[in-house]
Structure 1
C-alpha cells in the first residue's frame, strides 16, 4: 500500500463504528452481514483500541464484510511499528522528517522494510552491535536496499537532515565488531555496514583482505569493493577484485551467493550453501539493467567477475544469455572510454554460449 507524503505517517486509531459508518453501514448491518453477536460488536463499536482486543476469528468475519477494514488493519500494524522506531531514532538524536518517510513510501519499498531500516539506525546510534547487525542483515535484498540507500544518502533524497552522527556511530561499530563472526546475520549485517559507509565516504572503513579464508571476511571484502566501484568508479579496484576471484574459490562462492541471494533467486542459507541448480531470472534482469546504466568501473566488475561466476553456475544463465549479450553489445557500441572495459567486454561476448 502506498502512502503520499502529505498523509499522516502514523495512522490514528479509529473506532470500529467509524470505519463502518464510512462504508455506510450501521451496527445492525454489520451484525447481519457478519453473523456476529450484537453484544460482541457493541463492546468494540466505539472503542478506538478495539483492534487490540478483537479475536482473530471475529476480525476475519469483520474483514469479510467491512470494505476498507483489511487496509486499515495493515496501516495500523505498520504505522504502530513505524511510530515506535521513529521515537527511538528521535531519542537517539537522529533528525528524520515524516515528509521524507512519506515520500519514500509513496513509490518505494514496503513500510516494513523502512521500519527495519530505521530500527537499524536506532541500534547503530546506541552502539547496540547485536541489534544493528541483526536489523541490517534483514535489509539484504534489492527492495530492502532502496530503504537503506535512503538512510545512507544526503539530502534531498536521504532520510536524515544530518548524516554525521550516524556515520560516526557506524565507524565506531565497525571497530567494535571487527569483522564479526561467521554467523549469517553478523556476516551480512557487518558487510552491509562496510558497504554503505564505503559508498558514502569513499573509503573502506575496515581492514578487508582479498586473501579471505572465512566467509565473513570474504563477504566484507566484496562489500567494500562494490562500495568503492559505486562511489569512485575506480576500475583498478575491479581489476584487483577479479584477480582475487581467480585465486580464491571462497571469493567466487561468496560472489555467487551474494548476487543470487540479493536478487532473491536463491535462499539466504545459514551456512552459505548453494543449490546445485536454480533459476536466475531476477539476477539476469538486474544484470541487464546494470549493463545498460552502470559506471564503467562497475561495468568492468560485471563482465570480469559477476557474470562469469554466474555463468559457471548456469551456462544458460536462466536461458537469457542472448539478452545479456545484446545489452553488453549495445553498451559497448554506445562508447566506453576505458580500454580495459572494452577488452573485457569483448572477451566475455566471445566466451558466451
Structure 2
C-alpha cells in the first residue's frame, strides 16, 4: 500500500533548518528574530525529529518568526496519526484508495475526521466492536460525516477500494453488539453503523422496531429508516416513520436529540437529555440545504417528521430568516413528482409561523 500523493507534506519529517531555509532564513536569522540561544537551535537545526524534542515555549517562539511553521506543525501532528491509521488498515487487509484521501485533504476537510473514520474501519476489520463504535461515535456530526460517507462509499469516491470485506466485518460487528448498550458512544456508534450499512447495501442489517423502549433501539430504528430513505427513496418508509413518531414519545425525543446534536446546536449529552431552550441556527442552515437537494422520500421525512418535531421544540424555528419556507416553496415550484410530498409541503407551509 502507498500513501496519498501529498505524502511528503503529511508524513515526511523535515529538519527545522529546511523549514527555515524555505522561508529564506538562516540559523543566525532565527536566533536574532526569536531571541533563542544558538545552542538550542543548533540541537534542532538538522534533526528531522526536532518536533518531538522541542519544548512548548521554544516552539511558540519559533512559530512566531518562521513563516509556514505553524502549518507544518499542524500537518505533522495529524499526519502522524493518519499515517499510523493507514498502516493499521493495511495490516487489517483493507485496500485504501489514495485518490479520495488526497481529495478530502485538498478540499480542506478535516484530516482528523478522516483518521477517525479509518480507525473505525480498521477496528471493524479486527472485530474490535468496542473500538469500532467508539470511533464511529466520534464521527457524529455534519462535518465529520463527510469523511464517514467517503468510508462507506463505493469507488471511485470511496476511501476503500474493495468494500466487500469491510461490509462483511461491519455486519459481524452488528451481530456481536446485538443492539449494544444505552451508553452514549455505543448507542451512537452502533446506530451510525446501521445507518451507513443500510445506505450502502439497501437492507437494514439489524432488527429494528418502531416499538422502541430504550434509547439505543430508538436511535437504531431512526438510523435504519434514514438509510432506507436515502438509498431507495421509499416514501412509504417516511410515512411509516412519521406514524411511529406519533405513537412513541421516545422516538420523538430521539428525533429531536439526533437532529440538534448532529447539527451541533445542542451538546451530545450522555443521558440524551435536551436543554429547554437553545438556538437552532445550524440546524436551520443545514436543513435548508437538505430541502434543496434531497430526494423526495427524504424531503417527505423532513416536512412530516423532522421539521414538525423542531417546531414543537421551538415554535419560531425557521421564522427568523424564512429560509426553510423559501426552500420549500422553491421545491414546489420545481415540481414535486409525488402528490403525497406536494401535499405534505403545502400542509407544513400553512402551519409555519
Instruction: Check whether the contact 1:235–1:296 (CA below 8 A) recurs between aligned residues.
Output: yes
In the alignment, what sits opposite 1:8?
7
Q: How far apart are residue 108 of structure 1 and its match?
A: 5.2
Deviation of the 1:299 alpha carbon: 0.9
Contact 2:125–2:169, Cα closer than 8 Å, also in 1: yes
Cα deviation digits, residues 203-242 of structure 1 (max 9, x gap) = 0000001011111110000000000000000011100100
Structure 1, unaligned stretches of length 5 or more? none
Shift in Å, 1:318: 5.1
Match of 2:45 in 1: 45
**Separation (CA, whole Å) in 2 of partners of 1:169 and 1:224:** 18
Determine the structure 1 residue equivalent to 2:302.
302
Q: TM-score, normalised by structure 2?
A: 0.97
> Residue 239 of structure 2 aligns with which residue?
239
Task: Give the structure 2 partner of residue 292 of structure 1.
Answer: 292
Q: Distance between the aligned counterparts of 1:319 and 1:270, measured in 2?
A: 30
Moved over 6 A (4+): none
Q: 2 CA distance for matches of 1:324 and 1:44?
A: 56
Instruction: Work out whether residues 30 and 65 of structure 2, in 8 Å CA contact, stay in contact via their aligned partners in 1.
Output: yes
By how many angstroms is 1:160 displaced? Answer: 1.2
Structure 2, unmatched stretches of 5+, are none
Q: Which piece of structure 1 moves more, 226-235 or 284-293?
A: 284-293
The equivalent of 2:61 in structure 1 is: 61
Match of 1:142, SS state, is: coil
Which deviates the most, 20-29 or 306-315? 20-29
Secondary structure of 2:208's aligned partner: coil
Partner of 1:32: 32
Separation in 1, partners of 2:202, 2:160: 19
Separation of aligned partners in 2, 1:212 and 1:6: 47
1:88 equivalent to 2:88? Answer yes
2:119 maps to 119
Q: Which moved more, 1:24-33 or 1:119-128?
A: 24-33
User: Does the Cα contact within 8 Å between 1:137 and 1:189 map onto a contact in 2?
Assistant: yes
CA distance in structure 2 between the aligned counterparts of 1:278 and 1:108, rounded to whole angstroms:
29
Task: Summarize the alignment of residues 227-306 of structure 1 with structure 2, pairs less than 5 Å apart.
Answer: 227-306=227-306
Q: CA deviation at 1:320?
A: 3.6
Alignment coverage as a number of residue pairs? 349
- 3-state secondary structure, aligned to 2:143: helix
Q: Is the 8 A contact 1:279 1:318 kept in 2?
A: no
Residues 216-274 of structure 1, C-alpha deviations (whole Å, 9 max, x = no match): 11000000000000000001110010000011111111101101111111111111111
* 1:8 CA displacement: 2.2
Could you tell me whether the CA contact under 8 Å between 2:13 and 2:49 is conserved in 1? yes
Match of 1:72 in 2: 72
Q: CA deviation at 1:6?
A: 3.9
Q: Is the 8 A contact 2:266 2:274 kept in 1?
A: yes
Distance 1:233 1:99 in 2: 29
1:91-110 to structure 2, matched below 5 A, reads 91-107=91-107, 109-110=109-110
What SS is found at the alignment partner of 1:158? Answer: coil
Shifted more, 121-130 versus 327-336: the winner is 327-336
* Per-residue deviation, 1:321: 6.6
Normalised to the residue count of structure 1, the TM-score between the two structures is 0.97
Q: Is the 8 A contact 2:318 2:325 kept in 1?
A: no
**Cα shift readout 1:314-343 (whole Å, capped 9, x = no counterpart):** 111154472211211221222112121122
Tell me which residue corresponds to 2:205: 205
* 3-state SS of paired residue (2:62): helix
Counterpart of 1:180? 180
For residues 59-80 of structure 1, what are the alpha-carbon distances to aligned partners after superposition, in whole Å with 9 as ceiling and x for unaligned? 1111111111101101111110
CA shift in 2, pair 1:108/1:252, >3 Å? farther
Following the alignment from structure 2 to structure 1, what is the Cα–Cα distance between the partners of residues 296 and 26? 63
Distance 1:176 1:37 in 2: 58
Please, what is the CA RMSD of the aligned residues?
1.2
Contact 1:321/1:352 (8 A) holds in 2? no
Hey, what's the Cα distance between the residues in 1 that align with 2:168 and 2:219? 22
